[in-house]
């Protein structure tokens, strides 16, 4: 049954950027096998050792700047241009650099800074360090504009509205381990949408269908079937 691209919600995770050379979190050699997330991805960790947290995100920001979007990002940008809503858990900007517009970054963005004092955010490509002054209020502390564990993800109302209205929900390259994103597939089922998972392997999510394989192999072909009305 053909689906209108404007009735599709896509959720991406680290697996869509894996073939661009950016690490995932929970795969073998994933980021959380090398770093203690409590130390580098929580407000408490930032308060305890801001220099360590800045060093962690400075390295990820540099990696993201050196990486290139892959064929999955390009195909999803094409689907987004046809009206699909792209929600990402990723904090890299590879969707945007592949041409996607209005991507919903529910976990924030590496390429933006945030003032913990006044809430201002700004474009941030260079390294950050403790003592940086907020460009708006002149105070701080300034931090990467990333949603840490224990903090509330961004744009949740907009995401809920999009899922409630969609006919097809597609999760690409995410392990489904972290809520609230992991619960989106159930929200979509309750809304009467079909659900599809694209991943190297089946995760625990209740999806109606699965396409198993690397995102750069599977996503372009799937987008092509949607765009010519076979999806």
Catalytic residues: 107
Instruction: State which residue has the least CB distance to ligand APR.
Output: 15
By the rule CB under 6 A, 200 interacts with ligand APR: yes
By the rule CB under 6 A, 39 interacts with ligand APR: no
Q: Choose one: 2-10, 60-68, 198-206, 221-229; the region binding ligand APR (CB under 6 A).
A: 198-206
By the rule CB under 6 A, 215 interacts with ligand APR: yes
By the rule CB under 6 A, 203 interacts with ligand APR: yes
Rounded to 5 degrees, what are φ and ψ at 143? Answer: -140, 165
Rounded to 5 degrees, what are φ and ψ at 190? Answer: -65, -30
DSSP track, 141-187: -EEEEE--TTSPPTTHHHHHHHHHH-SEEEEES--S-STTGGGHHHH
Q: Choose one: 125-133, 134-142, 160-168, 200-208; the region binding ligand APR (CB under 6 A).
A: 200-208
Let me know if 83 is exposed, middle or buried by CB neighbors in 10 A (0-12, 13-18, 19+). Answer: exposed
By the rule CB under 6 A, 178 interacts with ligand APR: yes
- Pattern 154-173, binding to ligand APR, x per CB under 6 A? -------------------x
Q: How far is the CB of 138 from ligand APR (least distance, A)?
A: 30
Q: Rounded to the nearest 5 degrees, what angle is found at the Cα of 112, between the Cα atoms of 108 and 114? A: 85
Here the tokens at position 121 are 């955010």
The answer to whether 83 touches 6, Cβ cutoff 8 Å, is yes
Site for ligand APR, rule CB under 6 A: 13-15, 18-19, 24-27, 30, 89, 107, 173-175, 177-178, 199-201, 203, 214-215
């Amino acid at each position: 049954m053909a689906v209108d691209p404007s009735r599709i919600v896509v959720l991406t995770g680290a697996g869509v950027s894996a073939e661009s050379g950016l690490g995932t979190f929970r795969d073998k050699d994933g980021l959380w096998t090398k770093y203690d997330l409590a130390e580098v991805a929580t407000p408490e960790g930032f308060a305890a050792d801001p220099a360590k947290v800045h060093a962690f995100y400075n390295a990820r920001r540099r990696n993201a700047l050196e990486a290139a979007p892959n064929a999955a990002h390009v195909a999803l940008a094409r689907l987004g241009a046809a009206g699909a809503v792209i929600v990402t858990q990723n904090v890299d900007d590879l969707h945007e650099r592949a041409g996607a517009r209005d991507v919903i970054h529910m976990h924030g963005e590496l390429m933006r800074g945030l003032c913990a004092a006044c809430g201002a955010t700004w474009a941030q490509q260079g390294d950050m360090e403790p003592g940086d002054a907020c460009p708006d209020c002149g105070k701080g502390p300034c931090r990467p504009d990333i949603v840490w564990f224990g903090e509330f993800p961004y744009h949740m109302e907009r995401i809920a509205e999009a899922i409630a209205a969609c006919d097809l929900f597609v999760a690409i390259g995410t392990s489904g381990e972290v809520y609230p994103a992991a619960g989106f597939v159930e929200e979509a089922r309750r809304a009467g949408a079909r659900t599809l998972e694209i991943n190297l392997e089946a995760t625990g999510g209740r999806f109606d269908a699965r396409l198993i394989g690397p995102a750069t192999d599977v996503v372009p072909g799937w987008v092509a079937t949607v765009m010519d009305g076979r999806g």
